A and B are shown apart, each in its own frame.
Chain A
């Protein structure tokens, strides 16, 4: 009994601890960041990344990997900055259809037994193509409500942090507390036994992909709410960031072992690593490399704590 509790809490405690350490380091370098505005600036861009990470996490829950998240979020951003701004009804229809396309993708991948990596690779061209057609050059305009949602100033806690917490809790309820979530994670754990127990694996996969599409749509809207305009390649790097975020948050590639709260924390950690490096005044040549190094250090740290935990058992 005791063992299970400690494994579960550890899965969450480690990402939280690395985030806390990084946050302390940032405050130490730049004490002015320790304010309402400072925190908001630090975590602003983390909101869309966190939402995209949750989308990637849902795909990873069924043992697949989505290489098209970046292109898809870019596409959603382009739709948001064009149709959702000018003719909201058309915009909503397009976004609903694209969430549907994600669910259909899950069904096709399951029915034809296709490698998700390659299908989503192909889809990344498709979404990228549509994005280029919508906005051949950077532009567009953010809908008023999206802009308001991302720049509102609630009392005491900045909106970036409120949004991250809401997203994490929503995903937590959905994936860890609902029967649908259990089913999705079950497909990742052992699809055959889920099937034998009388559940529909196709429906579960379709649901996982559809939900992933939904979260990715939210990511695109949030991104445009922040940047006020879009371009076709605006979120390209989200593909790799979202995978790294899930892993940093304690998720795994197989077995349906994921943690929504961890995934959000992982995304926040990645964003914060970027700010940390700019506060360090590192030459720009080494910024990317240092980000890689931070990723390695956090993971090494995780291994160390895992080892300690195993020894105490």
Chain B
């Protein structure tokens, strides 16, 4: 009983339970033959949500009103700029990565500058910034679809020891994120800020510095995900980041991170990202029409939140 209790009190457990349930329901339909392929695809696609979700998680941890809406635009711009710079040349892979991360750095700094200078809520600051970044992306892209260098395209679409490379990269990102959050003073700082900004300030936490680092980190992770996604899907498209706006928020919250801030959860992001992919493929397998698929996705998201929310309500 106590073991069960301590397990159900872990906020990430729900996302993994839901993932397992959906996986079994899908495999029931496809037969065990499809199980491996399904899991492989789930890890491949979940990797991108995990990377952007990790960045969003740091931002949401800062407390109410902190959400980064510029993630999709940042992904698109970083992917576009990197592919353009690399120009299908294997020797430029590292330079492309640096360019993408540079884009992330610039967007993050600009986001924080707006928040700080204009004292506007981060949602509005990152929204306005995303409009500008998107315009720059449109201007850079010019409707051309440049292919990624052979080396990079191969890396992102192949596997090591049966595990997709993108998933391995995402795993590395989450391990670092977990260390930052649980073992480094930075993690303590942002958690403290999320729980009470005033208390954190009085306790001597460098509030503005920590917020600055968080917004930059989120934008850099988004840019990194954009670089990988553009290479994976064979080129940068202008709408490639679109679905990651809602996705990044959904995986963070379904994963058990509190929207009110001050309480974050890294393992949950993996559970939630796998879950979000598997729900869609389950509904596809069962042959539902697009409309029904969307309706069921919505209801499933709400049900998971209600289960996890029940845990939160009891804990209070």
Q: What residues of chain A have their CB less than 8 Å away from a CB belonging to chain B?
A: 67, 108, 112-115, 117-119, 121-133, 136, 240, 243-244, 247, 252-254, 285-293, 295-296, 299-300, 303
Contacts and interface: CB of A to CB of B under 8 A. Distances in A.
B33 interface: no
Interface in B99-135: 114, 117-121, 123-124, 127-135
A113 B124 contact: no
A299 B117 CA distance: 11
B312 A125 contact: no
Contact of B298 (A129, A247, A287): A129
B123 A253 contact: yes
Given A126-B299, A254-B64, A300 B118 contact: yes
Contact of A125 (B64, B127, B294, B310): B294
A243 B130 CA distance: 15
A127 B306 CA distance: 19
B127 A243 contact: yes
19 contacts: A108-B306, A114-B306, A118-B259, A121-B301, A122-B297, A125-B298, A126-B295, A129-B294, A129-B295, A130-B295, A133-B292, A240-B127, A244-B127, A247-B120, A254-B65, A286-B135, A289-B134, A295-B128, A303-B120
B302 A119 contact: yes
B305 A119 contact: yes
A285 B132 CA distance: 10
Contacts of A123: 298, 302
Nearest to A134: B291
Interface stretch (B10-18, B211-219, B247-255): B247-255
Given A129-B291, A303-B119, 17 more contacts: A114-B306, A115-B260, A122-B301, A124-B246, A124-B298, A125-B301, A127-B298, A128-B294, A130-B295, A132-B291, A136-B290, A240-B69, A244-B124, A254-B65, A289-B134, A296-B128, A299-B118
Nearest to A113: B313
A125 B293 CA distance: 9
A115 B67 CA distance: 14
Contacts of A289: 131-136
A26 to B, nearest CB: 20
A124 B295 CA distance: 9
Q: Which of A131, A136, A295 has the most CB of B within 10 A?
A: A295
Contact of A114 (B135, B299, B305): B305
B93 to A, nearest CB: 28
A253 B309 contact: no
A126 B298 contact: yes
A165 B62 CA distance: 39
A240 B134 CA distance: 15
B118 A303 contact: yes
The 8 A-B pairs with the shortest beta carbon distances in the complex, nearest first, are A289-B135, A292-B131, A129-B294, A125-B298, A129-B295, A133-B291, A126-B298, A115-B259
A300 B273 CA distance: 37
Contact of A118 (B64, B135, B299, B301): B301
Chain A interface main SS type: helix
A125 B65 CA distance: 22
B298 A243 contact: no
A247 B114 CA distance: 15
B135 A292 contact: yes
Given A113-B313, A240-B69, A285 B298 contact: no
Interface of B: 64-65, 67, 69, 114, 117-121, 123-124, 127-136, 138-139, 246, 249-250, 253-254, 258-260, 289-302, 305-306, 309-310, 312-313, 316
B295 A113 contact: no
A118 B114 contact: no
A312 to B, nearest CB: 19
A247 B305 contact: no
A129 B64 contact: no
Contacts of A127: 298
A112 B132 contact: no
Contacts of B289: 133
Given A122-B299, A291-B131, A292-B135, A113 B309 contact: yes
B118 A117 contact: no
B295 A125 contact: yes
Contact of A117 (B119, B124, B135, B259): B259
B124 A247 contact: yes
Given A114-B305, A118-B254, A299-B124, A288 B64 contact: no
A285 B139 contact: yes
Contacts of A130: 291, 295
A295 B128 CA distance: 6
A112 B310 contact: yes
B128 A292 contact: yes
B295 to A, nearest CB: 3
Nearest to A241: B127
Q: Which of A123, A131, A289 has the most CB of B within 10 A?
A: A289
Contacts of A252: 121
A30 B185 CA distance: 57
